[in-house]
Amino acid sequence: MSTLTQRTSGLVQRRTEAIRSAAAAEKEKESGGEEDEVRRGEEEDDDKGDSKETRLTLMEEVLLLGLKDREGYTSFWNDCISSGLRGCMLVELALRGRLQLEASGVRRKSLLARKVICKSDAPTGDVLLDEALKHIKETQPPENVQSWIELLSGETWNPLKLHYQLRNVRERLAKNLVEKGVLTTEKQNFLLFDMTTHPLTNSTIKQRLVKKVQDSVLEKWVNDPHRMDKRVLALILLAHSSDVLENAFAPLQDEQYDLAMKRVHTLLELEPEKESAKPNVNELMWAVVAAFTK
C-alpha cells in the first residue's frame, strides 16, 4: 500500500511539473511572439528604406517637405508644423509596434476618448522617439492622443505637466538630417539676430521624397486608403496637418496639381471612426488624424 501511494504521488508530481513546464514554454513563446512582431515591423521599415543612412522617420520627412531648400528653415507663418511633428512621433511609434490605443470596450469608445498604451518599451534608436516613449510609458493614468500632442508640444496650462514638452524638436530633427547627409548647417544674419539654418545638400533624397508623395496620389493612386502603404498614407495626412503637403505638389502642372489635391481631399473627407473599425488598420494613426480634423 505504501509503495502504491509513493508511485501515485510520484506520477502526480511528474504531471504537475510537465504542466508547469508547458505553461512556462507557452508564456515564453507568447513573449517571444510579441518581440518578433516588433522586430518584424522594424525590419519591414528597414526594407522599405533605401539604406540605413538615408532612411527617414515620418518627422524627418514632414520637416524636409517644410524646409526651404536654399534658405534652410520653415516658413515663419507656419504655426501647424509644431503639433504636426508631435503627431508624427505618435504614429511613428505606433508603426514600430511601440504604442497602441486601449481596447474600445463594449460601448465602443471614440478614438479620442481612448488612452494611448505602451505596447513595448524597446529602444527605437531615435533619441526623440525614445524620449516620447519614456514619457508615455511612465505616465499614470494614461492620456489620450489629443492630450499627448498638446503635452509634447508644451501647450498645457498645467505647470506640473510642462516637463512633458519636447524642446527644440525642429532643430534636433534638422541635425538628424545633417548626420544623414541630407542637410548642412549654416549661420544667417537677420538684422537683429543670427539664426542657424539647414539648407538642402542632398537634392536626390528630397526629390525622391517629393516623387513618393506625388506618385501616391497620381500614378500609383489606388482609390482605397486600406490598399495604400500605411507609412505613405500617414505621411500624406500628417504633411497636410503640418501645412507642408502643398510644397510637394508645387512643381506639378496645373492639371496634375488639381487632380492630386482632389485625391488628397478624398482622403481628408474619410471618417476616422469608420476607417479605424476596418480590419488591418493602425487605430492610433486614425486617432491622430481625428485629433487634427476635429
E-strand ranges in the chain read 99-101, 116-118, 186-190, 193-197
pLDDT score for 28: 47
- Domains parsed from the chain with CATH numbers: 58-293 (1.10.3630.10)
150 SS3 class? helix
Q: State which residues of the chain have pLDDT below 70.
A: 1-53
Which pLDDT belongs to residue 193?
Answer: 74
Look at residue 212 in the predicted model and tell me its pLDDT.
97
| The predicted structure's pLDDT at residue 1 | 47
Evaluate whether 64 touches 181 at the Cβ level (below 8 Å). no
User: What are the cell numbers at 218?
Assistant: 497620381
Q: Which residues of 124-163 are buried (b: 16+ CB within 10 A; e: fewer)?
A: bebebbbbbbebbbebeebbbbbbbbbbbbeeeeeeebee
Alpha-carbon distance of 167 to 127, in angstroms, equals 12
Q: How far apart are the first and last CA of the chain?
A: 77
Length of the chain: 294
